[in-house]
Structure 1
């Protein structure tokens, strides 16, 4: 589920979650709008496949104001082994730069699964970027699942009180290549830590002009109660 999707992190090469990368101005002025479309061989979010290791088509639309305010929506197909077939994200945020090396971002995201049952949830998050290092935290303040009773060891319901910590290192390499090293830790409110897990991954990406951005990605979960097989997948993203 979610927003590590084709976008917000696309600039760093992560072709997997919402859509908030570069924006193209509608006209000279304070407002800008951008759109994106992409494809991935496996929709990975926070170390776990959202498509049962299958491919996904994804896309979104974003608005931004020169003040730092932004809002958008993003959609992707998913496969949770039931009748849930797609995810629709709605998000807004505010960010800015403190100086040339330090910036910040605050965001609010609603993850919707219109054809699913009791799956929707919402997060508020904050992150800071210093040069090539980004770190942040997301807090789940709403979840349709009332509790997590009966949740299997390799599953998770997203309910009020969950915390997700994340960090990434992003570098520019020669030949217009990008390198992103990332990791995260999910601290669930229920099950006394029995569903908590860490994950990590690497992305190498390359911009190809009008052909978009291509990426080669590796992800892994660090807990054997989940699917901890290494995941290697490819992605493509085109922004307009």
Structure 2
């Protein structure tokens, strides 16, 4: 995430979003491994397109242990207007339930752009979920753009000290539909708030058995420094 492309990274539509109370590994054993693949008409992360409003193919691999430990990797094509063509993320964490209705998730994510320049960064994240409400915070602990040649301090984004706050409401609707309403705020370390922004959106999804899960999504950035046009996009995801 260099200064020229604010917000270019993940939610990983797969990670892209609210952390739910941990359900543990399958009843067949303490370990579980799963894979996922998806296609979206626009890869949106924290309100902003990572593909210049074009489609993306995405996928990942996840490991989980019944103790609550999890780890995984996830990838997607991206388009930041330079030579960066793909994103490859790695993450791990520990999640669990404090009570039947209160859950937590503590994790770390490394966002890598192997063919990008000074773009990688890493975050520590924590969230709590209670019934239909999830809220959390992410703190950037490392960013390649910090002190990189040709990048001024007041332009450097996604460096140590950046904060991201988020919350979501998730509901089950009739006809097996799911509704998520969410929002977030990015507080960058540099430029005295000149790059900070809020975003919000909503998603309606439906599982279709062996055909995966389909979604219709809306996202909006609340600052005209960026592309604040409403984004409406569709997605499909299947887990194996």
What is the TM-score when the length of structure 2 is the normalising length? 0.90
Task: Spell out, residue by residue over 1:43-69, the C-alpha distance to the aligned partner (whole angstroms, 9 max, x if none).
Answer: 000000000000000000000000000
Q: Which residue of 2 aligns with 1:149?
A: 152
Alpha-carbon spacing, 1:39–1:179, altered in 2? closer, same or farther (3 Å) = same
Unaligned runs of 5+ in 2: 1-7
Alignment of 1:1-240 (within 5 A): 1-8=8-15, 25=26, 28-147=28-147, 149=152, 157-240=157-240
Contact 1:23 / 1:62 at 8 angstroms: preserved in 2?
no
Secondary structure of 1:210's counterpart equals helix
Secondary structure of 1:175's counterpart equals helix
Partners of 2:24 and 2:10 in 1: CA distance: 18
How big is the shift at 1:146? 1.7
Partners of 1:228 and 1:151 in 2: CA distance: 22
Partners of 1:117 and 1:9 in 2: CA distance: 23
Partners of 1:10 and 1:212 in 2: CA distance: 18
Unaligned runs of 5+ in 1: 13-20
Task: Spell out, residue by residue over 1:29-87, the C-alpha distance to the aligned partner (whole angstroms, 9 max, x if none).
Answer: 10001100000000000000000000000000000000000000000000000000000
> How many residues are aligned here?
228
Secondary structure of 2:192's counterpart equals helix
CA RMSD of aligned residues (A): 2.0
Alpha-carbon spacing, 1:90–1:59, altered in 2? closer, same or farther (3 Å) = same
Q: Which residue of 1 aligns with 2:4?
A: none
Contact 1:22 / 1:34 at 8 angstroms: preserved in 2?
no
Contact 2:87 / 2:114 at 8 angstroms: preserved in 1?
yes
Partners of 1:144 and 1:62 in 2: CA distance: 26
Instruction: Give the ranges of 4+ consecutive aligned residues of structure 1 lying more than 6 Å apart after TM superposition.
Output: 21-24
How big is the shift at 1:22? 8.3
What is the TM-score when the length of structure 1 is the normalising length? 0.90
Task: Spell out, residue by residue over 1:170-194, the C-alpha distance to the aligned partner (whole angstroms, 9 max, x if none).
Answer: 0000000000000000000000000
